[in-house]
Amino acid sequence: MQLHIESTDRIEDVDGVPCRVWKGTTANGTPCIVLIHRIAVREDRDHEEFTRELREMPEPAKFPRILEE
């Protein structure tokens, strides 16, 4: 399965773990959400752009309901 996902400013609690909510679509266009607790890149790779974009994300909202949009 392939997904295209975009980060949001929303955080949802999943089994006691805060996860950032990402909105996405499958390769066939089916909407989905992805809940990500951690994300990383390899230390031996150039990750300047990744780090910059991750820091530019707005502060997360406080635990909204994820499916109420």
**Residue in the structure block whose two tokens are 């975009």:** 6
pLDDT at 63: 45
Q: How many domains in the chain?
A: 1
Mean residue pLDDT of the chain comes to 81
Which residue range forms the structural domain that includes residue 50?
3-55
Flag whether 61 is in a domain: no
Flag whether 50 is in a domain: yes
Flag whether 35 is in a domain: yes
pLDDT at 26: 95
Flag whether 65 is in a domain: no
Flag whether 69 is in a domain: no
The pLDDT tens digits for 9-33 are 888 889 898 888 999 999 999 999 9
pLDDT at 69: 47
Question: What is the rounded end-to-end Cα distance, in angstroms, of the chain?
Answer: 25
Q: Which of the given ranges, 17-21, 47-51, 64-68, has the highest pLDDT on average?
A: 17-21
- Whether pTM > 0.85 for this model: the answer is no
Flag whether 48 is in a domain: yes
Please answer whether residues 63 and 7 qualify as being in contact, where contact means their C-beta atoms are separated by less than 8 angstroms. no
